Amino acid sequence: MRGPHNIIRLIRTLATLERTGAIGVVLEAMDAPPRLRAVARVLGWPFKWLGLKGDPALPPATRALTALGPAYIKFGQILSTRPDIVGDELALQLKYLQDKLPPFPVEVAKRMIEEELSLPVDQMFSSFSEPVAAASIAQVHRARLAETGEDVAVKVLRPGIEKAFRKDIDAFYFAARAIETLSPASRRLRPMDVIRHFEGVVLGELDLRLESAAAAEFAANTAKDEGFRVPQPVWHLSARQVMTLGWAEGVSMSDNAAIDAAGHDRTVLGARVLQLFLNHALRDGYFHADMHQGNLKVGADGAIIAYDFGIMGRLDEYTRRVYAEILFGFIRKDYRRVAEVHFEAGYVPADREIDEFARALRVVGEPIFGMDASRISMARLLSYLFEVTERFGMETRTELILLQRTMVVVEGVARSLDPHINIWQVAHPVVEAYIAQNVGPRALLRDLGKTLQVVARFGPKLPGMVEARLVQQNAGPKPAPHAVHPVIWMTAGGALVAVGVALGALL
């Protein structure tokens, strides 16, 4: 039975946090209320003996998360980018989770590669290193292609990782179901949908063929982005459990001292990483959704190099426009427009008061402007936003989970490079340029052209559709006196199609 298994798993999670000493460290770092700390200790202490021991050489929080498994490690990776939430000391400890986890033996990696690609490793690569990075789901080796002499990165999944991850996900489903049952008010946040979305994203990481495709698409989209590079996949040496990419040579973005020693301007890099993310999300609708420091390097020329494309986000054009209008409204302090966009998109129920919602948004936005970013507590800001969503009945938008999470991570990366960065000032030119191109009369004409081009593709079917409608109409009740005859619609449609094709060609 899955229920008892999951109860045991969740109890062991709390017990592990208690046994490793992580529970006190985490709650203190996040400035949890004394009552919550007391409850957590009381619940965890009786089961302490059930907790996993972990590696005693690691700091408490890192020790607990690595012992608990890949899903917990992913959570820790996100927190490592937010010292403003968990504190500088804990964030520094959690950075270990990004690419310094214990590796598995190189012999195991070679055996998996040979099984996947049906060729001896020595025939494919003239050299093959020990692991150079080990993360929650896979590890990376540096190798040299025997055929061309090119340096490449070979990524290999951890043995048994899919089974281990499914076990964690199953426990998360159990917890989400229990929360919905015990707290009906939580259902508006759709915890089951959130876990389902999280499962789909992470399981996608477990097929490296999909990651190779993501790398190729992302590289094509960003080929003209100044100061940004994406390694190209080597397709004939990539499969489900193995992926080969061009080698990314550079300084880790988590090493500020090395970045300074190389002569790079961290203020420029902080602004660039944030603006690149916004460009990819708004312009392309396809963005790197795991942009923590462990997946970014700085090349010798100062370019940002991204890798690890297991989690990518995609937004349709309508959602991009909504997101851009919300951001632009905050930048312009037009909280009424931000509120209207939320209502128009259906993010807030129509029976709520728009002026009250606009006033609540003003409380969120006003403290940001004219203030040094280091003075803004993102933890308190997120806490207030949660209160706002509860008050106005907003539901969790699963299609925006990845965007929201990545925005938090990218802001954390930018802030680690430049603690005084103001995210709204940096975002302004990118969002303004997108609004100018995609919201307004020109965008309306372009949309009309696209719509009519789609209609044009159904041109050959229009006579049959009209005939079928006429037969149905003659067999049924008489049309209303002012109803427009289908033949008139067909004639008007033909004219609109011609206009649409012309507009499409011009725009």
Catalytic (active-site) positions? 290
Q: Are 424 and 368 a contacting pair, CB within 8 Å?
A: yes
Q: Are 408 and 86 a contacting pair, CB within 8 Å?
A: no
Q: Tell me how far apart the alpha carbons of residues 152 and 247 are, in angstroms, rounded to a whole number.
A: 4
Tokens, residue 280: 């990819």
Task: Give the residue carrying structure tokens 């049924």.
Answer: 476
CA 58 to mean position of chain CA atoms: 28
Name the DSSP letter for residue 67.
H
Q: Are 374 and 329 a contacting pair, CB within 8 Å?
A: no
| Sign of CA pseudo-dihedral 14, 19, 22, 25 | positive
Tokens, residue 131: 């692991």
3-state SS string over 158-224? CCCHHHHHHHHHHHHHHHHHHHHHHCHHHHHHCHHHHHHHHHHHHHHHCCHHHHHHHHHHHHHHCCC
Amino acid in the structure at residue 296 = L
CA 429 to mean position of chain CA atoms: 22
Name the DSSP letter for residue 380.
H
DSSP 36-65: HHHHHHHHHGGGGGGS----TTS-HHHHHH
Q: Tell me how far apart the alpha carbons of residues 328 and 432 are, in angstroms, rounded to a whole number.
A: 7
Q: Tell me how far apart the alpha carbons of residues 432 and 153 are, in angstroms, rounded to a whole number.
A: 38
Q: Are 140 and 133 a contacting pair, CB within 8 Å?
A: yes
Tokens, residue 360: 């609540």
Q: Tell me how far apart the alpha carbons of residues 242 and 223 are, in angstroms, rounded to a whole number.
A: 25
φ/ψ of 481, rounded to 5, equals -55, -35
Q: Is 505 exposed, middle or buried (0-12, 13-18, 19+ CB in 10 A)?
A: exposed
Q: Tell me how far apart the alpha carbons of residues 379 and 332 are, in angstroms, rounded to a whole number.
A: 24
Alpha helices in 308-456 (DSSP H): 317-331, 335-344, 354-365, 378-391, 398-417, 423-438, 441-456
Q: Are 222 and 280 a contacting pair, CB within 8 Å?
A: yes
CA dist list (Å): 166 to 1, 70, 173 = 15, 10, 10
Tokens, residue 128: 């093959």
